[in-house]
Amino acid sequence: MRALTSIEIGVQAPERNAVADSGRGGRILLVDDRPSSYERLGPMLATEHSVDVETNPAEAVFNAADGNYDLVIVSLDLNDFDGLRLCSQLRSLERTRHVPILAIAEAENNSRLLRGLEIGVNDYLLRPVDKNELLARARTQIRKRRYTDHLRDNVQNSIEMAITDALTGLHNRRYMETHLATLADQAASRGKPLALMMLDIDYFKSINDNYGHDAGDDVLREFAMRVRKSIRGIDLACRYGGEEFVIVMPETDLHVAGMVAERLRRSVANEPFAVHKGEKRIEVTVSIGISTLEQKGEPIADVMKRADNALYRAKNEGRNRAVA
């Protein structure tokens, strides 16, 4: 594969950000094995974009996956239907599934173009290629690609926000409640234990009262970090509300859950929490109630209720402790 540089063709490709909506300044992979063709098309495209030329269609799929291209232009005049095979490979690979494909073919290869459109080619051009038409179609595809990328990012962010607690970055209660039943079903069907912890920071109101609401927020963030450090990747930690947290631990029995709870309790009590940008350090403790799934098909609400009762006892017995 070789890149056509702007120096080679004497034109400065525009900066990407400055032209975000114009469809110019894209990264294009041109897959074409005939020098008479790519030596003409490459420089046309390079007046507005950066262009890599790949003459081997078997390599092209790897380059397309690695290169983060805005557009792949494929000659369907390649031998042995290699162009069509490439298009279908691009459509089936996760990393190239969304990259637009512009096909180019001789009129006599019209049937390949129709097949190409069926397998997901976005647009096509017949030879001989007109420069302005090529550039216009390339811009349209690149503009659409950028817009859909942008939408996809936004959707992704919205999904993230819908399941995350903004202050601590832990999962939120809604996410936990929708997944808890699934985790319980999985545990029951696999015959594995499941443990649940409810945590409530002790005398949190007085932290707010004595040091201010911002210090309280600092404590919540730091607390969440310590929770993250104490659990495994498969455990589900969420901020249940205010200064209350829930941790769900698949494949964990009461004995192990008790050890995790005790480790977490100590990690909170043993190291004061820095607030006000580290200017002040506050002693914090947490009370923890532990419960486990007792039998197959037991309502998860019952497991929660037992953890809540255990937490209530932990508070009554003097706080800064884990109770099952």
Catalytic (active-site) positions:
243
Nearest approach, Cβ of residue 76 and ligand GH3 (Å): 59
Pairing relationship of beta strands 236-241 and 286-292 according to DSSP bridges? unpaired
194 and 184 Cβ atoms separated by less than 8 Å: yes
Residue 200: beta bridge partners? 244, 287
Name residues contacting ligand GH3, limited to 48-87 (CB under 6 A): none
Name residues contacting Mg ion, limited to 230-259 (CB under 5 A): 243-244
3-class SS at 277?
A: coil
Beta-carbon contacts of 87 under 8 Å, excluding residues fewer than 6 positions away, are: 74, 101, 103, 116, 119, 120, 121
Nearest approach, Cβ of residue 288 and Mg ion (Å): 12
Residue 94: its H or E element = none
99 and 134 Cβ atoms separated by less than 8 Å: no
Beta-carbon contacts of 324 under 8 Å, excluding residues fewer than 6 positions away, are: 254, 257, 258, 289, 290, 291, 310
Nearest approach, Cβ of residue 273 and Mg ion (Å): 14
Residue type, 106: E
- The site string for ligand GH3 over 150-189 (x = CB under 6 A, - otherwise) reads -----------------x----------------------
Instruction: Evaluate the omega torsion of the peptide bond into residue 57 and state whether it is cis, within 30 degrees of 0.
Output: no
Q: How far apart are CA 105 and CA 70, in angstroms?
A: 20
Residue 213 vs 305, nearer CB to ligand GH3: 213
Nearest approach, Cβ of residue 183 and Mg ion (Å): 24
Residue 69 vs 204, nearer CB to ligand GH3: 204
Taking the alpha carbons of 12, 16, 17, 21 in that order, is the dihedral positive or negative? positive
Name residues contacting ligand GH3, limited to 185-244 (CB under 6 A): 200-205, 208, 213, 216-217, 220, 242-243
Dig out the tokens for 198 from the structure: 């409810």
From ligand GH3, Mg ion, none, interface partner of 245 (C-beta below 5 to 8 A by class): none
Report the residue closest to ligand GH3, judged by CB.
216
# of chain residues touching Mg ion (CB under 5 A) = 5
**Window of 118-126, 202-210, 221-229, 257-265 that interacts with Mg ion by CB under 5 A:** 202-210
Residue 152 vs 205, nearer CB to ligand GH3: 205
28 and 16 Cβ atoms separated by less than 8 Å: no
Nearest to 32 by CA among 9, 56, 50: 56
Beta-carbon contacts of 57 under 8 Å, excluding residues fewer than 6 positions away, are: 31, 33, 74, 78, 82, 83, 85, 86
Residue 70 vs 243, nearer CB to ligand GH3: 243
Residue 105 vs 284, nearer CB to ligand GH3: 284
Burial readout 94-120 (b: 16 or more C-beta within 10 A, e: otherwise): eebeebbbbbbbeeebeebbebbeeee
Nearest approach, Cβ of residue 217 and Mg ion (Å): 15
Residue 48 vs 243, nearer CB to ligand GH3: 243
Per CB under 5 A, the list member of 32, 82, 200, 235 interacting with Mg ion is: 200
Per CB under 5 A, the list member of 38, 69, 124, 204 interacting with Mg ion is: 204
By the rule CB under 6 A, 315 interacts with ligand GH3: yes
Residue 92 vs 206, nearer CB to ligand GH3: 206
**Window of 95-103, 167-175, 196-204, 296-304 that interacts with Mg ion by CB under 5 A:** 196-204
Q: Which residues bind ligand GH3 (CB under 6 A)?
A: 167, 200-205, 208, 213, 216-217, 220, 242-243, 315, 319
Give the binding site for Mg ion (CB under 5 A): 200-201, 204, 243-244
